[in-house]
Amino acid sequence: MRIYIVEDDLAIINILEDIIETQDLGEVCGDCGGEPADVLDVLRCKPDVVLVDFFMPVMDGVEFVKELRTVNDSIKCIMISQVSSKELISKAYSAGIDFFINKPINLIEVTSVLKNVEKQLENERTLNNIRKMFMSEINQMTSPVEKTDSYGRKLKYILNRVGMSGEKGCPDIIKICEYLHSNQIPVSQLSVAQMCEKVSDSPKNMEQRIRRAIAAGMSNVAHMGIEDFMNETFTTYSGTLFSFEDVKAEMDFIRGKKNYGGKVSIKKFIDGLMLEADREN
């Protein structure tokens, strides 16, 4: 999570940077150095979150957020202030503020607010992936599809349905499945490390990419189940590509009922993916 600080007090900038770094809350991608804020300078740093002081010279925090929102409305804005006036707070929220952090700066409050923002960003990205996946399925249903027996295309289709097509580990998963398929090797005969060694010069890196991709797929499927337990993609893949118990644990984690999500099983996923590809017409 990339964070930009807009604050006219250098001491507060230093305190915030120290909290963010020591608590591992994200990366400080820039600050205004105590000078008047410039929206274009902020945007050039591509932040996910902007911490902005309420009272600043030249342009106050509310006016800054209004100007920022006209250019980019996806950046999360957190106001830093001692303001207690309901009217001013309402004005700030109307301008587009997402959260408040009170002065004097408190480590616990900063940590809590930034972690909440990070969760919000993760949920929004997941929902965007699901929307893209649904739109892709709609396009496939309404557009003529070229008939092919390509095993790789079948694998890509399934990975796309669970919102994984954009993950870095997807090409690695496809390589392993194609290798096992062409050589008629059951998944049970090789360990994950051996599979990666067969198709990569950097097997450990490949395994890490695959694990992250499958974790993202499990999260997507869990979100589908929360939105609609009878969703076709959820019912089809929650017990084949993954263990249903792990998907349920992931759903409970997303709902805040558990402190941890489902476990990733690479062999289970690859075995299920190859079975599903064999079933595709």
Q: What pLDDT is attached to residue 60?
A: 82
Name the token pair of 215.
Answer: 């974790």
Strand partners, 50: 4, 77
Amino acid at 11: A
Superfamily of chain region 2-119: Response regulator (3.40.50.2300)
Q: Where are the domains of the chain?
A: 2-119, 146-279
Q: Select from 218, 216, 196, 214 the least CA-distant residue to 205.
A: 196
DSSP 77-123: EEEEE----HHHHHHHHHHT--EEEESSP-HHHHHHHHHHHHHHHHH
Q: What is the pTM of this model?
A: 0.50
Q: What is the pLDDT along the chain (281 residues), one digit of tens a residue?
A: 899 999 888 999 999 999 999 999 999 999 988 888 888 889 999 999 999 988 887 778 888 888 888 888 889 999 888 766 677 777 777 877 888 888 889 899 999 999 988 888 888 888 778 777 767 666 655 544 444 358 888 899 899 999 998 899 999 999 999 999 999 999 999 999 999 999 999 999 999 999 999 999 999 999 999 988 888 889 889 989 999 999 999 999 998 988 999 999 999 999 999 999 888 75
Q: What pLDDT is attached to residue 144?
A: 45
Q: What pLDDT is attached to residue 12?
A: 92
Q: Select from 157, 140, 141 the least CA-distant residue to 278.
A: 157
Name the token pair of 50.
Answer: 């902007």
